[in-house]
Amino acid sequence: MTAPHDPLDDIQADPWALWLSGRTRTALELPHYRRAAVLVALTREADPRVLLTVRSSELPTHKGQIAFPGGSLDAGETPTQAALREAQEEVALDPAAVTLLGELDDVFTPVGFHVTPVLGRIAPEALDTLRVTPEVAQIITPTLAELRAVPLVRERRTLPDGTEVPLYRYPWRGLDIWGMTARVLHDLLEQGPG
């Protein structure tokens, strides 16, 4: 007997794939910024969970912050390759478990990173295989509905060149999701399906 067909397993019917295919991606040209990529992994569920980490307090930068798995691109690497490699290194996510959908809008950080978020889907069971590594203090997986329900805090920051940028904060279960991670989440929550 075969298992019933789950429409969330069909990439052509995936609401996130359809959303991504119907929009124009914003790619930044920031030659003096360091290139990085993050994996935005959503579970294949009616109310997807998003894979986030609490960074270790032992790291030299961004200690204790909430982040997507990710990091700097190695020489010759694409953002997708870097995002998958970093997710495997940070939380032991098997790259074969990720259905890649494409790249989201580039973002930058005030400390000089040009980040390409890579959107992918994973089976909910993949979360059971993840493990904490020395770079990660904790793995968290809030649902998108939970994040939509928290009171969003909006601020404005002025960069050294005078440019004003939005800063979002999602207080979730005693944790503060902010910065680049909150900016990417904000775009997903405000513009994505659901």
Q: Look at residue 171 and tell me if it is in a domain.
A: no
Residue 188 located in a structural domain:
no
112 lies in a domain? yes
Quote the CA–CA distance of 120 and 103 in Å, as a whole number.
Answer: 9
- The residue range of the domain holding 14 is 7-18+26-143
Q: Is 86 annotated as a binding residue?
A: yes
Query: Does residue 192 lie within any of the structural domains?
Result: no
Residue 5 has pLDDT above 50, yes or no: no
Residue 194 lies in a domain: no
- Sheet containing strand 175-178, edge to edge, reads 153-158, 164-172, 175-178
Query: Which element (helix H / strand E) includes 144?
Result: helix 144-149
CA angle 111, 113, 116 (to 5 degrees): 150
What is the tens place of the pLDDT at every residue in 162-190?
778 788 999 999 999 988 899 999 999 99
**Does a structural domain hold residue 173?**
no
Question: Is position 90 annotated in a ligand binding site?
Answer: yes
- Residue 166: inside a domain: no
* Domain total in the chain: 1
CATH number at residue 71: 3.90.79.10
Decide if 163 is inside a domain.
no
DSSP result, 53-118: EEEPTTSSSSTT-EE-SEEEPPTT--HHHHHHHHHHHHH---GGG-EEEEE---EE-TTSEEEEEE
Q: What is the pLDDT of residues 61-119, one digit of tens each?
A: 666 789 999 999 899 999 999 999 999 999 999 999 999 999 998 887 766 778 899 99
Q: What is the pTM of this model?
A: 0.86
